[in-house]
Amino acid sequence: DRIAVQMPNLLQYPIAVFGAMRAGLIVVNTNPLYTAREMRHQFKDSGAKALVYLNMFGKLVQEVLPDTAIEHLIEVKMGDMQSAAKGWLVNIIV
């Protein structure tokens, strides 16, 4: 199976990629700045069944999702890998 990872350079990125590789999945890297058309094409062409994405791009992901084979979504936030107080603050600001 394939999993798409759509994140900028965050600490969550290598965690998601290494976790997927450890689980025996094929990782499909996608650019978080893709347009809806580009994203739809890559998801359909790759056959990804899951997506790990940054919550800031959630609107676009929801727009594209019905046209793809993606069944599972994993949403990450900018402050997920911070301490509780700092993570909360980062997630509120961003």
Report pLDDT digits (tens) over 36-65: 999 999 999 999 999 999 999 999 999 999
Whole-number Å distance between alpha carbons of 94 and 77: 9
Question: What pTM value is reported for the model?
Answer: 0.87
CATH of domain 2-93: 3.40.50.980
Place of tokens 């993606």: 70
Q: Looking at 10-70, which runs of residues are DSSP E strands?
A: 26-29, 50-54
Tokens of 18: 């290494």
Residue 94, pLDDT score? 75
Return mean pLDDT, the chain. 93
Which residues, at least 6 apart from 89, have a Cβ–Cβ distance to it below 8 Å?
A: 79
